[in-house]
Structure 1
Amino acid sequence: MEFLMSYSAAVCIVILILYALHYGKNIACRRGCKSNAKLTGKTVIITGGNSGIGKRTALDLARRGARVILACRNLQKAEDAAKEIKTRTGNSEVVVHHLDLASLQSVREFANKIIESEDRLDILINNAGIAVVSGEALTEDGFPSLFGVNHFGHFLLTNLLLDLLKKSGPSRVITISSNIHRCILSPMDLTRVESDDNGNIRRGLYPRLKTYHHSKLANILFAGELARRLASTDVTSVSLHPGVIFTPIWKNVWSRIWILTPLYYILGPLMWLLLIDEEAGTQTTLHCALDESVSHLSGRYFTNCEVSEPSAMAQDEELAKRLWEVSCLATGIKEK
């Protein structure tokens, strides 16, 4: 019995030491956005701003006086979020527009509405995204859902709003990526599948681009290529890793497989201990949106409120150019 008690005590001590090391390396060292910038008279669009870090970001920017446009698929959740943000900040300039990134038609309709109704656009935050889908789910336009929503939708949206961003300069495009892009070891296959012998479009126009990892790599490549193409303008383009965050998305991921749902509630407290919270997860986005120094760092990738080097593949300019060409073809954008 004494041996078991000693053994248990030793295990507990080891666990506490490991957690202390993890806390110091990944949580306690998190930097916060130091900017005191006010955004009165500025307009911001945040995709997916009705929950998670998108909502937290919208709340902070609204407190700074910005006109905040929540671009969301679920209008009821977006209206609820807008109401809460207005109440907490006293800023009535929080509006909601429908945007479904899984539909290029919806993206075009949203962009047209913004162009018609807004005089300026100072910050575009490409925040929305999905991390898991059921089976071989496709977007309305035949793209694998993860890549279609996380990359093609934002690619089209940004390009359609570029003239407004240029007109409003200095302005910024901030694209949320993830360090998970580092897990990709083989080259990105951008081959498009056209039609079968009967002239029918095959399932999934870009069948190799179906993982979350690929979509997050594409986010960085897109932001970098956009920066190069806008080098002579007042539009800054950056991408970032917000951190590994404990958000509702984890519940959505686990609930996709019903038998795993109970594990979420069992492991939830452990995840809360190991991951950063939503407020910490917004800080790098806020830094990229507000800090004056970022305007001189267009094309860079940020982690924990500072410049970080992404994977070698994410820095491949030829791959970025090829992805841009493919994205123009996929979304119907005429390449300039």
Structure 2
Amino acid sequence: MQFENDIKAVDALHQSYNNIKAEIGKVVIGQDEIVKSVLISIFSNGHCLLVGVPGLAKTLLVQTVANVLDLNFNRIQFTPDLMPSDIIGAEILGEDRNFKFINGPIFSNIILADEINRTPPKTQAALLEAMQEKAVTAAGIRHVLPNPFFVLATQNPIEQEGTYPLPEAQLDRFMFNVHLSYPSFADELTIVKNTTSNTDVSLNKIINASQIQYFQKLIRNIPVTDNVVEYAVKLASKTRPNTALSTEEVNKYINWGAGPRASQFLVIGAKCHAAISGKYAPDIEDVQAVAEAILRHRIVRNYRAEAEGLSVEHIIKNLY
């Protein structure tokens, strides 16, 4: 009976995903793979880093996702003068002469961390506890964040002046690092037509916070065979130079590989990818489908790789 209920639940997730994608498609033209990655990270209870040049609708995508999923949404514009208290909140002296904590903008279901690399490391670190523990600590008191909670951050890859690279500890907390590319000619034609007229698009709310939490638990319960888990762990292990499973190319071009969190995300991401595709258990192809976005920000190339123009994506594909 439980098995039949799980099958129905996976079917419901598959249908909900298709409905969500269609609704988002009313506003965000093209970028199907990007939308899929964002939704997988949400259903997997992870965070997502969107990297792309200005004007590719990164902010619009996050706002649309929050709207369609009926979630509370806050946008934080990261700037060089932003302070940690501007994100998590601060204690103030009230009229009754007692200190009380005032919630910052991080107290929301979806946080758009816009241009996250424009703020100094001290302020970037304010997100570390929130992303890992789903809580923040102020004046020694722990404050739990709303559930579900996601950080969807954007980063501009071409304008490096006045930016602060994200430390590895911060990057590792993002499940996905998704690179946005320019739209196709046909998609750009549709975008221009839609945005230069009086077209008014109304979005329907497909699912809500409680349903998202239900689907997150469902994905955790999806069975996965030992060979798929072993494949995911081996794939992450191969990225670590001078280890038993590392390849000659990795030893030659990589300084630092992916940690155990990558293995965890590969398995949970494969489960979610299978479920939204209408499958009841993941296979190796599902691991490969999410591997690039999970591994690319966890691998550090050496100077030799950079000098020879060898990309992280090329190295990852050679590990399959």
TM normalised by structure 1 equals 0.28
**Which gives a bigger RCO, structure 1 or 2 (Cα 8 Å, sep 6+)?**
2
